[in-house]
Amino acid sequence: MINQYIQENKERFLSELMDLLKIPSVSADPKFNDDVKATAEFLKKRFTELGVDRVDIIETKGHPVVYAEKIIDASLPTVLVYGHYDVQPADPIELWHSGPFEPVIKKTEIHPEGAIFARGACDDKGQMYMHLKAFEAMLKTDSLSCNAKFIIEGEEEVGSENLETFISEFKEMLTADVILVSDTGMIANDVPSITSGLRGLSYVEVEVVGPNRDLHSGLYGGAVANPINILADMIASLQDENKHITIPGFYDDVLECSSDERAEMAKAPFSEEAYCKALDIAETDGEKGFSTLERATIRPTLDVNGIWGGYIGEGAKTVLPSKANAKISMRLVPNQDPEKITALFQKHFESIAPESVKVSVTPHHGGEPALTPVDSLEYKAASLAMEESFGKKPIPVRSGGSIPIISMFEKVLGLKTILLGFGLDSDAIHSPNEHYGLYNYYKGIETIPLFYKHYAAIKK
Ligand code: BES
Ligand code: MN
Ligand code: MN
């Protein structure tokens, strides 16, 4: 019945998503503020058409939150759906094969039935919109088995800084039994999986200042400390020859994965060769003693995200720069505290600076790691839902990405989150030519109602 409804409305479900993807809701760049607003308005309209009891655009200090709810029976459990309508900047724009905000459908090797190419197609407009359409299908076929609340925010890609205040302020309104999020991935279209953990994030910007002006690199080179050379040395020293991070205390709070859990992880299908081939690299690289999958999910990391300074224009300009900068991210694992790690970084980075330069560290937004126990009722409902729609039991996997608000849901609202994601690593989120499989979009719309169904049954 519900699947028939989805089948019959397939085309419209897709064209609505296409319209949503046309609005460039880039949260990081104030140039797009009006578009961000328009995206919130777009969602409000769609919720209104669905016949929710309530839908509001709620202002924050930053971009607004779209909130909607439908309470069908106070004695039923309530599912609180979280998603984000903001997207990453599209740059570098010249690497897109079609406009980032002009969605097109193309077939790919991994998505033979077609994928929709646009910024936000997978992260997170496509995955978030599945929830509206799944909700529509349940409502229209009289099969909504839980109350539903939705928080769709516009600042996830910039750290969800105002959402924490929002959920504290609207704690009463957000009363629910479980949080449901589709903003992660699964292993492959024929290998369903559920994300059981996310990494946290500590993000800093560093500046190394040498002489009070750029100098002639012939007259001064060799005698005056070069901030770029120094920055490069300092960054290099943050990892040893085993790619172990050298910041004192960095690993102190790491909750190590048990050998049983690591053995379980190793069962997930993974080809090192295919991984390298997809990225055009000869081999992988990372912390000694851990597999590629482990390095990317259950181990903390330190990566330079950007580095600049000196002359980068045409031709050669012989200059010894006065300044060098870098942005550095550290992905954290359960039990590591982003504020503590940022403080450890700052202290260490300042302590290794030579006298010849001045160093400063500016912290940016961070986020805490998250874990969903695989033996919880919520997880069981998600697992049954996936098993029913994919015909295969999903594998629990940890993911390397971060969604800062998830740990706040637990702290402030006392709720566990189910990360029911349908994206693939190859969907190029945050990269040029981001896309989302049509199979994944429709499979998500089919699976979500099954979660409501199994969750309501388990809670009875
Ligand atoms: N949806 C992603 C996070 C993600 C993607 C988790 C795939 C697991 C699998 C989210 O939108 C994101 O990009 N998060 C940022 C957080 C940051 C901006 C604070 C990240 O992980 O870099
Ligand atoms: Mn996302
Ligand atoms: Mn993202």
148, 70 contact by CB (below 8 A): yes
CA dist., res. 122 & res. 430, Å (int) = 10
Q: Tell whether 376 and 433 lie within a shared domain.
A: yes
- Percent of the chain exceeding pLDDT 70 equals 100
For tokens 């799944």, the residue is: 134
pLDDT, tens digit, for every residue of 28-79? 999 999 999 999 999 999 999 999 999 999 999 999 999 999 999 999 999 9
Query: Which ligand has the minimum distance to the alpha carbon of residue 119?
Result: 3
Q: Is 416 helix (H, G, I), strand (E, B) or coil?
A: coil
pLDDT, tens digit, for every residue of 95-136? 999 999 999 999 999 999 999 999 999 999 999 999 999 999
pLDDT, tens digit, for every residue of 1-23? 999 999 999 999 999 999 999 99
Which residues form ligand 1's pocket by a CB distance below 6 Å?
A: 123-124, 156-157, 159, 183-185, 198, 201, 365, 367, 399, 401-404, 429
In a domain? residue 112:
yes
Residue 52 tokens read as 């929710």
Closest CA to 254 of 297, 300, 302, 197: 300
Q: Tell whether 133 and 183 lie within a shared domain.
A: yes
Query: Which ligand has the minimum distance to the alpha carbon of residue 423?
Result: 1
From start to end of 113-177, where are the E strands?
115-117, 147-153
221, 320 contact by CB (below 8 A): yes
CA dist., res. 394 & res. 420, Å (int) = 11
Q: Are strands 104-106 and 193-198 parallel, antiparallel or unpaired?
A: unpaired
Q: Tell whether 184 and 55 lie within a shared domain.
A: yes
In a domain? residue 259:
no
> Can you tell me which atom of ligand 1 is nearest the CA of 367?
19
CA dist., res. 89 & res. 119, Å (int) = 8
Q: Tell whether 214 and 174 lie within a shared domain.
A: no
In a domain? residue 339:
yes
pLDDT, tens digit, for every residue of 374-399? 999 999 999 999 999 999 999 999 99
The rounded Å distance from CA 156 to ligand 2 centre is 7
Looking at residue 399, which CATH number applies to its domain?
3.40.630.10
Q: Tell whether 175 and 204 lie within a shared domain.
A: no
Q: Tell whether 426 and 351 lie within a shared domain.
A: no
Ligand 3 is an ion; residues with CB less than 5 A from it: 123
Number of domains, the chain = 2
DSSP H/E element including 340:
helix 338-351
Give the residue, by CA position, lying nearest to ligand 1 atom 4.
401
Ligand 1 pocket test, candidate residues 403, 427, 431, most atoms within 8 A of CB: 403
> Can you tell me which atom of ligand 1 is nearest the CA of 400?
8
Partners of 202 in beta bridges: 330
Q: Tell whether 433 and 362 lie within a shared domain.
A: no
Q: Tell whether 310 and 442 lie within a shared domain.
A: no
In a domain? residue 48:
yes
Residue 34 tokens read as 């009006």
DSSP H/E element including 328:
strand 323-332
What per-residue confidence (pLDDT) applies to 107? 98
For tokens 């700052």, the residue is: 346
Q: Is 407 exposed, middle or buried (0-12, 13-18, 19+ CB in 10 A)?
A: buried
Q: Tell whether 94 and 213 lie within a shared domain.
A: no
What per-residue confidence (pLDDT) applies to 261? 84
Q: pTM of the prediction?
A: 0.94
Domain that holds residue 329: 200-254+300-367
What per-residue confidence (pLDDT) applies to 20? 98
In a domain? residue 278:
no
- pLDDT surpassing 90 at residue 268: no
In a domain? residue 186:
yes
Looking at residue 350, which CATH number applies to its domain?
3.30.70.360
CA dist., res. 201 & res. 365, Å (int) = 8
